[in-house]
Structure 1
Amino acid sequence: MNRNKLTIKDLVSIGVFAVIYFICMFAVGMMGVVPILFLVYPAAYALIGGPIVMLFMAKVNKPFGLLIFGMIAPCIMFLFGHTLVVPLLSLLFCLLAEGIRRMGKYQSGSATMLSYAVFSLWPCNSLLQMLLLKERYMEMVIKEMGGNYGNAIEKLITVQNMAIVYVCTFLFGLFGAFLGRKLLKKHFEKAGIV
C-alpha cells in the first residue's frame, strides 16, 4: 500500500474536518450582517480557522488532501447561489497551497504555515464577486439581505478595499497558522491526537 495515497480513513477525516470548518466559517460569516464587518470576516476566519486547518494538515499530510478539503466549502457556496468566481478562484488558491505543502514534502512546519496562509485567502473570493460579477452578486445580496444592505456593500467593496482584505487575510492566516502550530504542540501532540 502506498503511504502517499489517500485512504478511506483520510477521506473520512477530510469530511469531518470540512464539516467543522464550514460550521465555524458560517458562524464567523454572520458578522457580515453588519456591512463594514463584511470586509473583516475573511481575516477573522483566517485567524480562527488556523487551528482547525493546521490540525487537519497534521492528520492528513498526503498529496491532494488539502485540495479536496479546501474545495468543499467553495462548492457548497456555489450550490447555494454564489457565482463561479468562488469555486474557480478558490481552486487556484487551493492548488497553490497544495504546491507549497508539496515543496515542503508535507512535513515542513514553515511550508505548512505558508500553505495555510495562502489557503486562507479563498473566502476573500466571496467578496471579490462584487467586483467581477457585480450585477449577479447584487441580485443575490438584495434578495437575501435587502436593498439598504446591498447599497452599503456596493460602496464598501472597492479595488482598494479588496487589496487590503487580501493582505490582511494573508497576515491573519500566518498568525492563525502560528496559533494552530502552538496548539498542536501544546495540546494535541500530548494528547496523542496527532
Structure 2
Amino acid sequence: MKQQLKVKDLVTIGIFAVIYFILMFALGMIGMVPILFLLYPTLLGLVSGVLIMLFMAKVPKPWALFILGMITPLGMFAMGHTYVLPVHALVVMLVAELIRRAGSYRSFKADALAFGVFNTWICGSLMQMLLAKEEYLEMCAMMGDDYVKGLERLITYPHMALVYLGAFVGALLGALIGRAMLKKHFAKAGVI
C-alpha cells in the first residue's frame, strides 16, 4: 500500500516544525556558554524526543520526517549559517528516511534509530567551525572575542565525535521517553 503525503500531512509537518524550532531555539540558549554548546545536541535529543516520536506516530508516511528535518536547517541557512548546515542535514535526513522506510514507518525500533540519526543534524551547526571556519567565526563575532576563542578551543574533531555520539544517545533516550509518554498520555487521549 503506497501512502502519499496529503495537504493535511503538510500542515501537520508545518505545525510540528514551528514547535520544534521554538523548542530548539529555547534550549539553544545554553550555547551562550561555549562548553555547554557541546552538550546541546544531547539535550535537544532528550527534550525533543516526545515531540518527534509523536510526529512520527501521527504522520507514518514517506518523506514526512525528511521534510520536517530540512525546514530548520534551511531556515538557519537563510539566516546566515554556512552551506555546511543544510548539506549536512540533507545527508542526515536521507539516512533517517531510509531507516524509517526499512521499518515500514510503523516500527518503534526503526523510528527510534531514525530519530537518533535525525538528531545529529544539529551537529552540523558545530561542524561549520571545522569545515567553514572563516564564515562561521564571522557569524559568531557578535558574541565577542572570548566566545569565539572558546569555540575555537572546544570544537575539534575528537570533541565532535563525542558530540555526535551524545546527540545519537540523547535521541535514543528521548525516543524511549517519547514512547512512554505516547502510551501513557497521547494514546489514552486519542491523539494518536
- Give the TM-score normalised by structure 1: 0.97
Q: 2:80 & 2:156 partners in 1: Cα distance?
A: 22
Q: 2:42 & 2:25 partners in 1: Cα distance?
A: 14
Q: 2:108 & 2:60 partners in 1: Cα distance?
A: 12
Structure 1 vs Structure 2: percent identity of aligned residues?
54
1:83 match: 82
- Structure 1 residue aligned with 2:172, among 171, 174, 177? 174
1:73 match: 72
User: What one-letter code is carried by the residue in structure 2 that aligns with 1:134?
Assistant: K
- Structure 2 residue aligned with 1:151, among 139, 149, 152? 149
Q: 2:35 & 2:88 partners in 1: Cα distance?
A: 23
Q: Secondary structure of 2:3's partner? A: coil
Q: 2:45 & 2:130 partners in 1: Cα distance?
A: 22
2:189 match: 191
2:62 match: 63
User: What one-letter code is carried by the residue in structure 1 that aligns with 2:165?
Assistant: V
Any runs of at least 4 consecutive aligned residues in structure 1 with deviations exceeding 4 A, and if so which? none
1:36 match: 35
Instruction: Mark the runs of 5 or more structure 1 residues left unpaired by the alignment.
Output: none
2:52 match: 53
- Cα drift, residue 3 of structure 1: 5.9
Aligned residues: 192
Q: Secondary structure of 2:121's partner? A: coil
1:36-92 Cα offsets, whole Å, 9 max, x none, are 101111111011111110000111110000010100000011011100110111011
Q: 1:42 & 1:81 partners in 2: Cα distance?
A: 20
1:147-182 Cα offsets, whole Å, 9 max, x none, are 111111111101110010001111111001111111
- Cα drift, residue 146 of structure 1: 1.4
Q: 1:77 & 1:123 partners in 2: Cα distance?
A: 11
Q: 2:125 & 2:11 partners in 1: Cα distance?
A: 27
Q: 2:90 & 2:42 partners in 1: Cα distance?
A: 19
Of 118-127 and 3-12, more deviation after overlay is shown by: 3-12
- Cα drift, residue 112 of structure 1: 0.7
Q: 1:191 & 1:147 partners in 2: Cα distance?
A: 50
Kindly report the root-mean-square deviation, in angstroms, between the aligned alpha carbons of the 2 structures. Answer: 0.9
1:160 aligns with 2:158: yes
1:98 aligns with 2:97: yes
2:113 match: 114
Q: 1:62 & 1:137 partners in 2: Cα distance?
A: 35
Instruction: Mark the runs of 5 or more structure 2 residues left unpaired by the alignment.
Output: none
Q: 2:107 & 2:127 partners in 1: Cα distance?
A: 31
Q: 2:2 & 2:13 partners in 1: Cα distance?
A: 17
1:4-48 Cα offsets, whole Å, 9 max, x none, are 010111000000000000000000100000111011111110111
